[in-house]
A and B are shown apart, each in its own frame.
Chain A
Amino acid sequence: MKLFVKEKCDVKETEVEIRCRIRDREVDNLITGIRNAANTILGEKENGDICQVPVVRILYFEAVEGRVFAYLDDEVLKIKNTLYEVEESYANNHFVRISKSAVVNLRTVTNIRPEVGRRVRLELRNREFLIVSKNYVGCLKKALGMKEAR
């Protein structure tokens, strides 16, 4: 495998192009590796270990008593960013703010149901659910391409 790195001043965002004879397992692994390297976040496990996880694996971020946690399928990581920073940084990764204290990964939402008080309930792939505040339903609709948020 040959690896070329070319620097160009006019490129706004880093681009990676893979040229291959056939898309095999090695190429797929390469794609996964590149994706993971580009969008990862550092988090602290419960036992204090620091680990790096791809943001696509995160179900949602939640602020609890001034600390921000990232919830994965099977673990919870404490992260150093604020919820606002998370919202700004990962908007392109389909993360959207759904309440004062939560930002959800839309990739992981499996169903949307009505909730009392003009709110909605999001069901996630791990069967957990989150409530979208009335004030953030517009943001969710906008993120889904339904309408402009007020």
Chain B
Amino acid sequence: MDRIISSFRKAASRSVWAYSICVIILALGSYAIGGNVAPKNIFILTWMYLCFIVINTVILSLDGIKSWERLPYLVKRIVAMPFLMGVAVLGIMNLGEIKSNYKTNLAITVVAFGVVYIIASTIGYVFEKKQTDKMNDALMAFQKEIAKEDE
């Protein structure tokens, strides 16, 4: 239970700032085209972020489970993708009130989300990998030093 509560806190703190930014962007966009922010859009956005909080809480709660922890970085990201994609695509399709060419637009949104998500995850991984490569070098040097000390 403690793990779920702490996961919820982490998920909520991550989502809140993203939600705030989205509301600001939505407001600025509406102002730019000379209209008002539709309450329906705010409702959809709130629903999306509540769903993201729930999904992220579940994902973060899995951290204590060894079989989940064993999975590599990118696999974990890909496992989480369909859930995040489902919420994001549903939200975006309703935000934009897309009615004509629904299937085509749905396919475009799904592909766009997938591509952006995979690219973002890959960039994140490459960046993190660079950091850990440096740490591995430092670890090797450190262990050599210990071996010398032991000698």
Contacts and interface: CB of A to CB of B under 8 A. Distances in A.
The range of chain A's interface size is 20 to 34
A145 B139 CA distance: 9
A106 B139 contact: yes
B57 to A, nearest CB: 13
B123 interface: no
Contacts of B60: 117
Interface stretch (A37-45, A77-85, A108-116): A108-116
A144 B135 contact: yes
Interface in A104-150: 106-107, 109, 111-118, 120-121, 129, 131, 140-141, 143-146
A31 B23 CA distance: 67
The range of chain B's interface size is 20 to 34
Nearest to B129: A114
Q: Looking at chain B's contact residues, is the secondary structure mostly helix, strand, loop, or mixed?
A: helix
A144 B125 contact: no
Given A112-B139, A116-B76, A129 B134 contact: no
Interface of A: 94, 106-107, 109, 111-118, 120-121, 129, 131, 140-141, 143-146
Given A112-B136, A113-B72, A120-B135, 20 more contacts: A94-B146, A107-B143, A112-B132, A112-B135, A114-B125, A114-B128, A115-B73, A116-B73, A118-B128, A121-B69, A129-B69, A131-B63, A131-B69, A141-B138, A143-B142, A144-B135, A144-B139, A145-B138, A146-B134, A146-B138
18 contacts: A107-B143, A111-B136, A112-B132, A112-B136, A113-B72, A113-B73, A114-B73, A114-B128, A114-B131, A116-B77, A118-B128, A120-B135, A121-B69, A131-B63, A141-B135, A144-B135, A144-B139, A146-B135
